[in-house]
Structures are given as structure tokens and as C-alpha cells.
Amino acid sequence: MERIRRKVEAGETLSDEELDALRSEAGNTPGPTLRLTVAHALMNAGAEREALRLMETLRRDFPQDIQVRLGLARALLGVERPGDAEAVLREALILNPGDPEALKVLAVLALRRGEHGRAREYVAEVLEKDPFDQEARLLKEELEAVDVPPPAVPRVQALRPEFTAALLAALHRAGVACRRQGNALLVRLASGEVGRVDVASLYTAYRDGTQELGAYVEGLVAQLQGLSGLAADARSLVARLRPVLRPADFEAHAVGALHRPGPAGLEVFYVLEDAEFVHYLPEATLGPAGLSAKEVDEAAWRNLEALPAPVRPVVLDQGQVVLAETFSGLWAVAGGDGYDAARLLTVEQRRRLVLHAGEESLRVHLGWREFALLCRESDVATCESLARLGGAPDGIPGLFRLDAGRLEAL
């Protein structure tokens, strides 16, 4: 029976024998769960009207069940009754305020009607509670796409090698020193500051935009030239400093950037806060700015101390990190700004972790820059899951231990 239920949940069509077996089991089982599964199986097979009759009966028998309301809304949409489906979804939200499934379907209905503002509100409410919700993120991208008018004339898109060559040529013409470093582009500005940008991300932005290649790269060069981490006074510079943790060999990727040895064999680098680009602070800028390496380090950690990130329960689902609604034994420090690994060393972030995980030692996974994963070392099963988990190419490999504010390599 569990195999049949999984097929229904996956949207597959049951055979006649499987459907009969499901009906028989549902008739002998109290509660709405299996009867609801029968209704979804019917909808998977295109028998929406039969499913709707069953769902109406379930609503009468189980008026407080949220899943019954959601199933009824699906059946109503299947028979082209979106207005009735919307009313049922609003009833579901009364039973369970903020229910993400109801909100996502309401967002789709609003999008169909062209009510983009309302659809965005529904999607934003879902993503506020679960930034990892894939369906909501796809809806957000769709809403962003419909807000962008199509280009008046179809353009010929350059392939990535052509894009990269055009960008490098434009930088050289503008007198901007730069060089390739794997998938990254290191740009040295006149001030001496090093900017590191991801060529793949730049190409994706070009491909998804509307500008011709020449205009796009010229605008990008102008933007890169305008980046100025060195403000007129040291106070403005210091306010933008943040520390980041990087692997021991990262110096080769940020040549000339100020850094020092960090915990667990890692290195502490310093970046200047920017919404779009990663700026590593060049060591050569300390003299002109009147700052010492110690002052930079103290300022960077002081700034990060004032910016703790939320600690959220998460689960691992087929190698993906997904927010959990209740206690899971696995947590994410999820600031999403690239500083979460370093945040583990701040006093306020450790205080927040203690509120969730207690005072015991924690196992740490830093495979993604967007968040840090932690579980109790006493939780053997979750520790093993973290050991099997991969990471992004720019993440920090390996596992670590966080104990009383000390980060140690395993």
C-alpha cells in the first residue's frame, strides 16, 4: 500500500488493480487519509468529477482537515471552477493561517488573472517562512519575468566564449587590469582594490537580459570601474568591512588581498560590503587609508557581530537543504550573504545557537557560502548525513567541530 501511495503522491496513474486495492483499504481504514489518496488517484487519472464528489463528502465528514480543503481545491480547479477553488483555499487559510500550499495555489490563480501584485504578496509570504521553497521561488521568477517587457526586436545572443572575449577586450580598452582565475575574473581598480566576479553569473545576466553584447559589456565595464571600496576617509571604509573564512589555498584566488591565519586551518580574508560584487581588501590599501591589519581585523569582526543571522531548522532531502517546520536536529545559520561561516565565531551567533542546540559540541558543514549547517555531535545519524553531503565549488570542503566558540577541523 505504501508503494501505491507514493505513486499517487508522485502524480502517477494507478492501474485498475492498484486503484481497486486502494479503494478497498480506504474503506476499511478510519480517517480521511486513504480516502483522500483515492481522490488524488482519480484526479491523476483525469476523473476529476468523480474525485470532486468524493472530496465533497470528505469535507462534510472532516470539516477541519486542511488536506481535505486543499484536495477539494485541486478537484475544483480540475473541473474549471477557479472561483470556487479560491473560496475553498481561503477557508484553508482560516483553518491554518499562512499555509504555504494554499498560498502558492492562490498565487497561481492571481497570476492567471493578471493580478501580479497580489500574486507577489502570496509568494513573498511563503518565502518569508521558507526561502528554500522551490515552487515559490519558481513562481517568483515567473512574476519577475512577466514584469519585464519583451525586446522589440529579437537579438542574436553571443555564446559564452564570445561573451568572455568581448568583456576582456572591453576591460583592456578601458585600462582596467584583470585576469582570469578559473570561473572568476579578478579586477584591479586604480585604487588597488581587487574585485572578484563570477564570469558564469555575468553571462547568465547577459543571456537573460535584453541588451546587445557590446552595450552590455560596456555598461559592465563602467560599473566595475565605478566600484570604489576606498572611500574618502578611513571611517567610511571601516564601516563596510566584513570577515570571511576561506580555505587555506584561497590566497591564489585573491592575490594581494589582506588575510591572516584563521581557525581550523582556514584563512580569514576581509571583504567590503557590496550588493553585487565580492571585494577583497588589498593589503596595499592599508597605508593610504591609515589603517593597520589589526584595526581592519577588529573592525570587520565588530561589524559582523552586529549582524547575526537567523538559525533555522532544516532537513536534507535528496542532497537539498529544505527548511523544516519543526525541530529536526539540523540547523542552518542562514544569513545568505556569504558571511555565515565567520558568524559561527561571533558571540551573538553562538548565543543564538545555544538557544536551539544547547551547550554541547556541534558538527559543522560549510559546503555552501549561503549558509552553514550544524548538528549536535551526539546525533550520530545526522553527523553521518553531513559527512555524505556535498557542496558548491566555492564552498569549504570537509567537516568541522564548533565547541565553546572554537572551530576545529576534523
User: pLDDT by residue (tens digit) across 269-279?
Assistant: 998 876 556 67
Split at pLDDT 50, 70, 90, the class of 69 is: very high
Asked if 364 and 354 touch (Cβ cutoff 8 Å), the reply is no
Query: What's the CA gap between 377 and 363, in Å, rounded?
Result: 5
Summarize the confidence of residues 112-116 as an average pLDDT.
82
User: Which amino acid is it at 228?
Assistant: S
Asked if 55 and 67 touch (Cβ cutoff 8 Å), the reply is no
What pLDDT shows up at residue 212? 84
Summarize the confidence of residues 359-368 as an average pLDDT.
94
**231 has a pLDDT exceeding 50:** no
What pLDDT shows up at residue 195? 66
The domain segmentation of the chain, as residue ranges, is 2-146, 160-226, 234-305, 311-409
More confident site: 221 or 143: 143
CATH topology for the 2-146 domain: 1.25.40
Percent of the chain clearing pLDDT 90 (strictly above) = 37
User: pLDDT by residue (tens digit) across 338-362?
Assistant: 899 999 999 999 999 999 999 999 9
User: pLDDT by residue (tens digit) across 8-28?
Assistant: 888 888 998 999 999 999 888
Split at pLDDT 50, 70, 90, the class of 313 is: very high
CA distances from 5 to 1, 22, 176, 325 (A): 6, 8, 60, 23
**268 has a pLDDT exceeding 80:** yes
What pLDDT shows up at residue 386? 94
Nearest to 220 by CA among 195, 183, 237, 238: 195
Summarize the confidence of residues 334-340 as an average pLDDT.
87
User: pLDDT by residue (tens digit) across 146-195?
Assistant: 665 555 555 677 887 888 888 888 887 777 777 776 667 777 655 555 66
More confident site: 311 or 288: 311
**405 has a pLDDT exceeding 50:** yes
Split at pLDDT 50, 70, 90, the class of 34 is: very high
Asked if 196 and 280 touch (Cβ cutoff 8 Å), the reply is yes
User: pLDDT by residue (tens digit) across 82-99?
Assistant: 888 898 999 889 889 999
Query: What's the CA gap between 289 and 57, in Å, rounded?
Result: 74
Non-local CB neighbours of 22 within 8 Å, separated by 6+ positions? 1, 4, 8, 14, 34, 37, 38, 41
Query: What's the CA gap between 18 and 20, in Å, rounded?
Result: 5
Split at pLDDT 50, 70, 90, the class of 230 is: very low
